[in-house]
Structure 1
Amino acid sequence: MLTVRPVRTADLPAIEKMAVESGIGVTSLPNSRERLFERIQQSVSSFEHEAVADTSDEYYMFVLEQHGSVVGTASISASAGFDEPFYSYRSETFVHASRTLKVNNRVHVLNMCHDLTGQTQLCGFFLDSAMPAVAGELLSRARLMYIAAERERFGRRIIAEMQGIHDEAGQSPFWDAIGRRFFNMDFVQVEQAFATHSKTFIAELMPNYPIYVPLLPDEAQHSIGQIHPAFELPCQLLTREGFEADNYIDIFDGGAVLTADVDRLETLMRNDVLPVEVSASLPLQAKECLISNEHSIDFAATIARVAEVGGVLFINPDAAKALGVQSGDRVRVAYPHESSQGVAA
């Protein structure tokens, strides 16, 4: 059975392997044993906090487990850029006009900003390529189930950076057109620096003036707001939730930054907390749903066939074991998206 739970220190070797396999662009999953261990320890500490008055530097890392093996990971940063600004490019339009020449031109520009600093961020998503789409949905949505259960820990707005366009050699047309001119570093090198060092180098080296998009090479212009094929699944899952591409893009590869109102996400709007009844024989109306327990340290989520009867949620023993619940406990159930035919559609 597929189960999502908080990361443990013992998961470090599996997380290291995924960091290597994730390749270029997933800076929230750095290929550094030391940094990964720090992330895991930060996550363990965050889950152990019983209550958080305000969002701060809490970081929640989850893993997807199948038959005792870790096959995926995804995280939540309670406050993006809590200790350092969260940089991005804001896409804007400048108007250049001359009444004398009767010219009025609207020009696309990019302005470096940290408008998104302090917003809750979904990050660190990685799933074994052999896993089915339903596993990706469970891994992605389980984070939202945790937010629903621990709403006070997170902010009003939420963001997710999508990996931008680059080739197998790590060449990014957006980076080559802008960043390389100020850093004199390859895209791969700057991604590694971003994942393992302080982010102050961005403010120190990147231009503070607007970037006029028409002056960029065509390939760089076409890459703005585009998403790497490897991120199509997480992008589809988040779009189905209600995330939208906003006027922000990643400062390095130009990938889209998705944003949303936390309380207007599908999973948060369409879930119930119900007492559970464990039964080996489920009612005929049972259907696959996403369910999670109401624990924090021992949070768990899975997808299983359930049936609601008279305000009670019937689940089978395997699901109860995965969630660590028994009859009489309360669980949270999220229903299939309105646009879906099933939980994995």
Structure 2
Amino acid sequence: MTHVIRAATAGDMQALYEMAKLTGGGFTNLPPDRNALRGKLKRSAEAFTRESEERMDDLFVVVLENTETGEVRGTAQLFTHVGQSWPFYSYRLTTLTQHSRELERTVRAEMLSLVTDLEGSSEVGGLFLHPSERAGGLGLLLARSRYLFIASHRARFSDRILAELRGIIDERGGSPFWDAIGGKFFGMTFQEADEFNAIHGNQFIADLMPKHPVYIAMLPEEARKVIGLPHPSGRAAMRMLEHEGFSYEGYVDIFDGGPTMTGRTDAVASVRNAARKPVTDCDLANGEKALIATGRLAGFRCCCGIRAFTEGGVAIDPEAAQLLRVREGDEVWSVAR
């Protein structure tokens, strides 16, 4: 494999912009707006250069690079502490049970309540793989590399972690969920609101969104049936998150109704099982398939390779050693594929 995950730089701006134009909407963390992307890269660069281990509101942007061609073919993001710059809003599904003695009837009403329960969590998001590269395990590499980054920089991340999955978007690029709720109060289409949020943040939600619970039974059927469902392109990502130990606990996105998956950071499989070892051999020919990473902050690199634990550390294959730019004695983190 010739692909490696590395820290994004200002030079990746055009590649990120071209990928952002391919997302098809509803992808808040990767807006097709040059100024917004420049802002993300600037914020990421500041996070990668900050040596302090203090937990702050950092954003790390990584990219998937084909080292043979130099092309950037994917990207992903990590947020260390959401809800610090502005509130982190979600809807949470709740149930209100009421009983009438006279009618001898119990009624259970499902509601959507606007909450900030997830403030302070870390977040993995912004994952996008170029359509021409969606094969050969590159999506898995891109997604799980973030957990090796978390494991190797654990002090910077919270004890709870979340991942927002894009909800159902119709063929016009609209959202039945937004049309039924947000669209009634903001006078904006889903695409307009989503773009505004991506560029300016969601403080406008706090300013204008009604704070009272929304009774689901009062929503149109088109909106009710998409609550908590991921976009078809995100079903594999949802399964991958579940495999890592994330679960759906009734939190949904306030724009498109997509599910928010949550978990305990130290219980995420790729964080829990990550092994930190010195390299004892760079010529391994046969071994266990693994994700292997090295480097701190801006020096972080991750690739797919093979490993075998040895008495004094871990042996890796020469291709991985070359991609990671490591030699015997250097330290790597790894987790089984």
Q: Distance in 1 between matches of 2:39 and 2:169?
A: 28
CA contact (8 A) 2:280 2:312 kept: no
- CA distances 1:24-68 after superposition (whole Å, capped 9, x unpaired): 1110111111110110111111011112322x2210000011132
2:166 maps to amino acid: Q
2:148 maps to amino acid: M
Displacement of 1:250 in angstroms is: 0.3
2:177 maps to amino acid: F
CA contact (8 A) 2:278 2:331 kept: yes
Query: 1:304 maps to which residue?
Result: 305
Query: 1:45 maps to which residue?
Result: 46
Query: 1:81 maps to which residue?
Result: 83
Q: Mean alpha-carbon deviation: is it higher for 143-152 or for 45-54?
A: 45-54
Query: 1:280 maps to which residue?
Result: 283
CA contact (8 A) 1:175 1:252 kept: yes
Please, which runs of 5 or more residues in structure 2 have no aligned partner? none
2:239 maps to amino acid: Q
Query: 1:208 maps to which residue?
Result: 211
Displacement of 1:311 in angstroms is: 3.8
Displacement of 1:102 in angstroms is: 1.2
SS of 1:89's partner is strand
CA contact (8 A) 1:288 1:305 kept: yes
Q: Distance in 1 between matches of 2:127 and 2:236?
A: 10
Cα 1:281–1:241, aligned 2, differ >3 Å: closer, same or farther? closer
CA contact (8 A) 1:92 1:111 kept: yes
SS of 2:131's partner is coil
2:193 alignment partner, one of 178, 190, 202? 190
Query: 2:140 maps to which residue?
Result: 137
Q: Distance in 2 between matches of 1:280 and 1:118?
A: 43
- CA distances 1:280-315 after superposition (whole Å, capped 9, x unpaired): 353x4x121011014222000001122222243112
Query: 2:241 maps to which residue?
Result: 238
Q: Distance in 2 between matches of 1:234 and 1:198?
A: 25
Is 1:156 equivalent to 2:163 in the alignment? no
Q: Distance in 2 between matches of 1:305 and 1:108?
A: 49
1:103 alignment partner, one of 99, 102, 105? 105
- CA distances 1:198-256 after superposition (whole Å, capped 9, x unpaired): 42210122111110001111121110000001212322221110111112100011000
1:299 maps to amino acid: F
Question: What number of residue pairs does the alignment pair up?
Answer: 333
Q: TM-score, normalised by structure 2?
A: 0.96
Percent identity over the alignment is 36
Is 1:262 equivalent to 2:265 in the alignment? yes
- CA distances 1:318-340 after superposition (whole Å, capped 9, x unpaired): 211211211111111111xxxxx
Query: 2:61 maps to which residue?
Result: 61
Please, which runs of 5 or more residues in structure 1 have no aligned partner? 336-342
SS of 1:15's partner is helix
2:208 maps to amino acid: L
Query: 1:30 maps to which residue?
Result: 31
Q: Distance in 2 between matches of 1:144 and 1:280?
A: 26
Q: 1:161-172 residue pairs with structure 2 within 5 A? A: 161-172=164-175
Is 1:221 equivalent to 2:224 in the alignment? yes
Q: Distance in 1 between matches of 2:10 and 2:32?
A: 16
Q: Mean alpha-carbon deviation: is it higher for 65-74 or for 316-325?
A: 316-325
Structure 1 residue runs of 4+, over 4 Å off?
none
Q: Distance in 2 between matches of 1:278 and 1:260?
A: 35
SS of 2:248's partner is strand
